[in-house]
Structure 1
Amino acid sequence: MATFFLVIIYLAFISLGLPDSLLGVSWSMMQPEFGARLETAGLLFMTIAGGTIISSFVSGTLLKRFGTGIVTFISCFMTAAALLGFYYAPSLIWLFLFAIPLGLGAGAVDAGLNNYVATHYKAQHMSWLHCFWGIGATMGPVIMAQFISEQNSWRNGYIAIAGLQFALVMILFFTLPLWNKISENSKINATKRQEEINDGIGGDTKHQKPIQIKGVKLALVSFLFYCGTEATMGLWGSSFLVNVKGLSVGVAAKWVSLYYAGITIGRFITGFITLWMSSQLLIRIGQITALAGTILLLLPLPSIFSMIGFILIGLGLAPIFPCMLHETPARFGKDHSQTIMGYQMAVAYTGSTFLPPLFGFMAANSTIGIFPFVVAGFVAIMLLGSEKLTSLLNKNRWSSREDFLNGGKTTFGE
């Protein structure tokens, strides 16, 4: 029963991933139809992500009042209805109106399911959960590219994705009775998971404000630039390939789908690697791999190397987000992990909300050719922040051990 419940959660994350990459892939066709400027895609993306931020902030209240099952079902229904609205949208203003429920539908279920898995399951399940998000994010541009190539229609791509979303909504509807039952049965597992978390922390932080715990702000920087990198790649990667590398819209869409495929496959593999490799090492390897991919985009090489660069960036990004999420209780203690998880999700969505449109304004006033330089900068900042956080946490843990051996009180996080 618990395994079947995990499958339901994975399906919910497919529905989260399906719409995420559609706008960036289809914008090259949508822009002339609506007579919009290039940077309007950034504003639409900001509207979607802004709704996600709002629903994430209120997710705790919603989940307590209605339960994870109901919130997940309603959220997926909202995204399906919004995608259907994109298909029928007669003008640009309607795209902005439907972008609101599209964002609102994603936030609550994302925060709720991430916290549930981080608390109740091992690290491999967090990686596989986000692997299923990647399946959705990969399927989205593949389906859209098919409709653009064969029918020259972005609208049919949106209605096809909406149909898949509604199918997932039906599955969630018929499994609603399972959520309360499984939730009761999982309380024992949650207690065991919290005991494991306690064993990994070296000190007492319960009397501190979460934001004042050493390393929290550095963690927030990593989340900001991780999501900024991931979203900028998804939103502007196709435009870069079309306008700088000279690829057709259909081919560019397929190459962007390979980027999301890299994230998906990487997270599937990461789930197994976490059994014998630490999350921190996986985060470091992922960041270095992503940086190597951006270098391929920077160099004046044949177009095929850009495809390899997109795949490398996807593979590099794959382990970073789920591993950082799962490390939250181990880094900062169980007493504040829920609050800090909320901070991290909010800052992550802030990165996806503001950094891609910021790049859009920069590109509109200069050239889309700055794309690889900006992405490389984002990855570099994320890597530096993460390494500084690791150094700080290791220093605190050694101090805690020395205090313990000397018979003193632990000082982790003070």
Structure 2
Amino acid sequence: MPIFFLIIIYLAFISLGLPDSLLGVAWPVMHLDLGAKLEAAGIISMSIAGGTIASSLASNYVLKKLGTGKVTLISCFMTASALLGFSLVPSFLWLILLAIPLGLGAGSVDAGLNNYVANHYKAHHMIWLHCFWGVGATLGPIIMSSFIGNNSSWRNGYRTVAFLQFSLVILLFVTLPLWKKVGGEGKASNDEQHKVGEIDTSQDSGDVKIEKDNSASIELEERSNYKGKENVLKFPGVNLALISFLFYCAGESTIGLWGSSFLVNTKHFAPATAASWVSLYYGGITVGRLITGFITMKLSNKILIRAGQIISFIGVLLLILPLPKACSFLGFIMIGIGFAPIFPCMLHETPVRFGKVQSQKIIGYQMAAGYIGATFLPPVLGFIAARTTISIMPFFVLTYISTMLYSSERINIVMRGKKFYKAHM
């Protein structure tokens, strides 16, 4: 039963990933049909992410009131309804209105499921959880490109994804009692999970396993139980973590939103071909997370975060340098593979860095910071690109990755500092 419960959580993350990649791959065709400007995609993206920020910040309250199961069901229904609305819109303004429930449907469930897995399961389950997000994000462009490539409407692409979402809504509704029976509305039974060997009682990120340092293990355990101050933003390292999430999501969203337009307008690909190549970017994230889930059993989260940032950095360089078109293909895949471990590994580190008691609140803030990056930075690029050229896109992403790498390394230094333990033990 606990394994089946985990599968339900995985499937819920497919529903989170399905809508995320649709707008970017459909926009080169959508904006022409609706008579909208190229940079107008940024307005829709801002509306979606704005709703997600609001629901992320309210996630702690909403999850306590309704429970993870009901929040997941309601969120999936909201996104399915919004996507169906996208397929029926008569004008651009309706897209902006429908973007709000699409965003609201993502924030609370995202924060709730991430916190549950971070606190109860080992790192590889967090990686695989986001691998299922990648499954949804990869399927989206494949579905949309098949309709665009066959001279069908992008509306049919949205309609198909909406029907898939409604199928998942039915499954979540039927299995809603399972959340109370097994998960206790967000808490799985320790005894049941021990039987299947899933639960992570050690709360180590992999570093303790590698270093084999007993004193570090004691400090880690004590810090996980730290109840702390109410203002978690004053915890050493929290602001650096928020910066890392902000620029990671900015980079991921920028590639997803503007990658297809970059390939069409700079590399001169056909829209359907560009959409297929962007699906390879999401495919790289998906496959990378599947593989990384096994690697977490040997390597620490910190090492995987650093390696992912370096790989994605190299992938962006392949888009910038004057190389053959095939290198752009490799670049998108490398960016996806590099991005694969970063987000889930940073989330899984949260209870380790700041304690289990405060992890739900901090994860909510981290998700909000990520969505702020996804909300504001891609539209800024669109605004500038409309007045210059979309070929500047890789330079923006390179800056985001560099800033994220700097912040990530700084937080590692803070976490190693003796002052942290003395101030909060």
TM-score higher than 0.5: yes
1:17 aligned residue: 17
2:173 aligned residue: 173
Q: Counterpart of 1:221 in structure 2: which amino acid?
A: I
Report the number of matched residues. 403
1:112 aligned residue: 112
Q: Counterpart of 2:150 in structure 1: which amino acid?
A: E
Task: Give the C-alpha shift of residue 334 in structure 1.
Answer: 2.6
Task: Give the C-alpha shift of residue 214 in structure 1.
Answer: 1.4
Report if aligned partners of 2:203, 2:351 keep a CA contact under 8 Å in 1.
no
- Give the SS at the match of 2:36: coil
| Structure 1 pair 22–113 and aligned structure 2 pair: CA distance change class (3 A) | same
Task: Give the C-alpha shift of residue 304 in structure 1.
Answer: 0.8
- Give the SS at the match of 2:422: coil
Which residue, out of 185, 188, 192, partners 1:186? 188
Report if aligned partners of 2:71, 2:108 keep a CA contact under 8 Å in 1.
yes
Residue 293 (structure 1) aligned with residue 295 (structure 2): no
Which residue, out of 274, 277, 282, partners 1:252? 274
Distance 1:262 1:196 in 2: 28
1:136 aligned residue: 136
Distance 1:254 1:48 in 2: 23
2:98 aligned residue: 98
1:216 aligned residue: 238
2:152 aligned residue: 152
- Give the SS at the match of 1:7: helix
Which residue, out of 242, 247, 257, partners 1:235? 257
1:352 aligned residue: 374
Distance 1:126 1:290 in 2: 20
Report if aligned partners of 2:122, 2:203 keep a CA contact under 8 Å in 1.
no
Report if aligned partners of 1:26, 1:154 keep a CA contact under 8 Å in 2.
yes
> Structure 1 unaligned runs (5+)?
401-409
Task: Give the C-alpha shift of residue 187 in structure 1.
Answer: 4.2
Distance 2:113 2:288 in 1: 20
Report if aligned partners of 1:194, 1:334 keep a CA contact under 8 Å in 2.
no
Distance 2:301 2:125 in 1: 13
Deviation by residue 1:161-209 (Cα, 9 ceiling, x = unmatched)? 1111111111111111111001237243699756646852565864443
| Structure 1 pair 392–62 and aligned structure 2 pair: CA distance change class (3 A) | closer
> Structure 2 unaligned runs (5+)?
205-216
2:62 aligned residue: 62
Distance 1:266 1:195 in 2: 25
Q: Counterpart of 1:152 in structure 2: which amino acid?
A: S
- Give the SS at the match of 2:15: helix
Distance 1:257 1:170 in 2: 27
- Give the SS at the match of 2:37: coil
- Of 211-220 and 263-272, deviating more is 211-220
Distance 1:87 1:333 in 2: 44
1:324 aligned residue: 346
Residue 361 (structure 1) aligned with residue 387 (structure 2): no
Report if aligned partners of 1:10, 1:129 keep a CA contact under 8 Å in 2.
yes
Report if aligned partners of 1:201, 1:331 keep a CA contact under 8 Å in 2.
no
1:405 aligned residue: none
Distance 2:190 2:404 in 1: 36
| Structure 1 pair 183–202 and aligned structure 2 pair: CA distance change class (3 A) | closer
1:407 aligned residue: none
Task: Give the C-alpha shift of residue 84 in structure 1.
Answer: 0.6
| Structure 1 pair 89–322 and aligned structure 2 pair: CA distance change class (3 A) | same
Task: Give the C-alpha shift of residue 58 in structure 1.
Answer: 1.8
Deviation by residue 1:348-401 (Cα, 9 ceiling, x = unmatched)? 1111111111111111121111111111111111111111111221233xx67x
| Structure 1 pair 261–247 and aligned structure 2 pair: CA distance change class (3 A) | same
1:411 aligned residue: 422
Deviation by residue 1:64-119 (Cα, 9 ceiling, x = unmatched)? 22221111111101111111101110111111111111111111111111111111
Which residue, out of 370, 394, 397, partners 1:372? 394
User: Percent same amino acid at aligned positions?
Assistant: 58
Deviation by residue 1:236-294 (Cα, 9 ceiling, x = unmatched)? 00000000000000000000000000000011111111111000000000000000001
- Give the SS at the match of 1:239: helix
2:296 aligned residue: 274
Report if aligned partners of 1:142, 1:253 keep a CA contact under 8 Å in 2.
yes
Distance 1:368 1:133 in 2: 27
Distance 1:74 1:329 in 2: 27
- Give the SS at the match of 1:230: helix
